[in-house]
Structure 1
Amino acid sequence: SSEGKTAVESKNGKSSAGTKYSMFTWFVVLALLGVWSSVAVVYFEVVDYDSVMARAKQFRMNFSEVLQGKLTAYDTDGDGDFDVEDAKVLLGGSLGINAKERERLEKERVAKERERLEKERVARETERLEKERVGLEKERVARETERLEKERVARETERLEKERERSRVAQEKQRAEKDRFERERVSREQKESEAAREKDGLLQGRTERPRLAREKAARDKMEA
């Protein structure tokens, strides 16, 4: 049946068409009640709107007076109240202060940026000069090392030359001394040989003269 079907749909979580129509009907009824209540209040003068409006005006005037009293301190044109002109002056001053502040901050930012760039430039220049100084120092050390090496080689060459010269002179002196000794030895040996020959000659002469005298005497005897 339809009732069973509606119950099943309700159990399954589905709302019925009758429920939808019921909620809509309630909304319509409430709206109509509100409209008729407003019409009844106005028509039957349940509320005195004139007194309400008068009280509202009085409240606005009192609030304006209080607000003006609070804002009198911000009166800039001396007319005794705070109006649009005063607001313009205050806003203009505020904007002027803000503009000056922004200008000051911008100048500070530009100055800081320039200072930062100058520091970076100085740092780069210092680094470049340091690298250049290190390079020049390396070149100077290399030149100095090369100069010292050349001087060392020159001194060593000079020392070797002097040693060779001394050795040559010593060898020549030794050779000359040896030659002198050799000449003296030869001369001495020659003298000794000549002396020996002379001595031998004298001895031989002494022995030969008696023999020659005997031979001569024998020849003379035979001839006689």
Structure 2
Amino acid sequence: MEKFTTLTGVAAPMPLINIDTDMIIPKQFLKTIKRTGLGKNLFDEMRFNEDGSENPDFVLNKAAWRKSKILVAGDNFGCGSSREHAPWALLDFGIRCVISTSFADIFYNNCFKNGILPIVLPQEDVDKLMEDAERGANATVTIDLEKQVITGPDGGEVAFNVDPFRKHCLLNGLDDIGLSLQKADKIEDFEKTRETQAPWMVNAKSA
């Protein structure tokens, strides 16, 4: 998993509340088990018209926000069904951070596991960042995970909280597999000891 230390980029304003996982990545795109390739279908039903052409009114289709790395969203982002494809699609598009007043629990947890930082802030802070995002391509935002600070385009700072363990994992690029591999030597020692103490289990497994 790619490390998250600092992120500087354009923030896209999405003030809609209750953006659910089916809006993020519609169900017809859930057939794949690959984490890549879903970015082109992110927000598919909002980004594209029925004939496949782009919806010019959707924020990520506008020139100022086509390469956004940050979303500033309405309340209860990521609600709905528990599909890990939702953070996969955001990440594949290039989104590394989502800012909102609240997130659905499963989506929130899945973000951390896939290298995306979800930030929960009070409504007044989200409103200010939403205003900054609406200014477009010249209004870049910087997120410093180590310091837990968001710096707006005018230099104003907003502090945020994040669980220390999740922060550690993002800073070091550790997903569940990466965390397990940190203890590879202990796992190997356990397996060797187990072979000696219970050889019949090893033989049964080999058979």
Classify the TM-score, shorter chain. Answer: under 0.3
- Higher RCO structure (Cα 8 Å, ≥6 apart): 2
Higher relative helix content:
1
Q: Which has the larger radius of gyration?
A: 1
- TM-score, normalization by structure 1: 0.20
